[in-house]
Amino acid sequence: MANTNLTSVFNNKLIWITGASSGIGEQLCYDLSKMGARLILSARRTDELERVRNACQSPETHTVLPLDMLNEADVINAADKVANELGTVDYLFNNAGITQRSLINETDADIYRKVMELNYFSQVTITRKVLPGMLARGSGHIVTTSSIAGLIGIPYRSAYCSSKHAIIGFMDSLRSEVHDKGLRVTTLCPGFVRTNIIDTARREGTAQEKVEDTVIKNGMAVDEAVAEVLEAVANEKEQVIIAKGKEGMGPIIKRLFPSVIYKMVRKMALT
């Protein structure tokens, strides 16, 4: 059953979720629909979005909006469609993203560009498109999924880490600009969560076919991670780390004892 306090926060709010067809985005749809939110579900695959929508509570109240985040014109057109047909969103969850698995000297430049386009530039584009409506209304909440890898660089994920570091910087700047205009900005920094992100990376060519990822397989359950996400957003946290144990302590260790974290990440194996 939904937490009563969270329900009071999200009930009847118009919430746009990108990356809604799987992983954290999919679970956000299920949890927020139970709290009475009206959802806009975006990802590339219409059939998967319809599957998620139909599994949500009150599916008829939610809108499927297929969207290729790598296509800037598609993002702009989608944002215009939302503004014209549904109005200004109350919450934007920037959750679309892709990972990468390869050594730096084995990674093509095209992979760096693709990962940066999706994990950074597309988030900037969609945020800038919804921002004027929120500013005009004097309210709104922008939530973007970065990663602990946006705070600590780790091996085999140089493109991913770079993009996640970049979006944290953008969100910090955004927060400083809108703090007195009624808007709220939350940056999510999850650790490893049990999603199909590595399968997507293999399909998109940003991870080798043979690569498995035991750290993801052994990560936090997605429903547990999303519960922490929604608690943080409801409490208007500015940046939140969603992880446990040594992983969750990593950013603190880096700040206090940087040489220790550098030695720790060197021990991370490819599998």
Among residues 91, 120, 156, 160, the one annotated as catalytic is 160
pTM of the model: 0.89
Length of the chain: 271
State the residue for tokens 């990962």. Answer: 115
**pLDDT computed for residue 47 by the predictor:** 97
Residue identified by tokens 């319809």 is 50
Question: Measured between alpha carbons, how far is 10 from 15 in angstroms, rounded to an integer?
Answer: 9
Question: Could you confirm whether 160 is annotated as catalytic?
Answer: yes
Q: Output the pLDDT for position 150.
A: 95
Are 168 and 148 in contact, with CB atoms under 8 Å apart? no
pLDDT per residue of the chain (271 residues) written in tens, 0 to 9: 445 589 999 999 999 999 999 999 999 999 999 999 999 999 999 999 999 999 999 999 999 999 999 999 999 999 999 999 999 999 999 999 998 888 999 999 999 999 999 999 999 999 999 999 999 999 999 999 999 999 999 898 999 999 999 999 999 999 999 999 999 999 999 988 866 655 565 555 555 555 555 555 557 899 999 999 999 999 999 999 999 887 888 888 899 988 998 888 887 754 4
Q: In what order do the strands lie in the sheet with 183-190?
A: 63-64, 38-42, 14-18, 91-94, 140-145, 183-190, 239-242
* Domains of the chain, residue spans: 4-266
Give the span between the Cα atoms of 91 and 89, in whole angstroms.
Answer: 6
**Which among 181, 179, 219 has a CA at the least distance from the CA of 197?**
219
CATH code: domain 4-266 is 3.40.50.720
The pLDDT tens digits for 30-43 are: 999 999 999 999 99
Quick one: which of 37, 38, 34, 35 has its CA closest to 7?
35
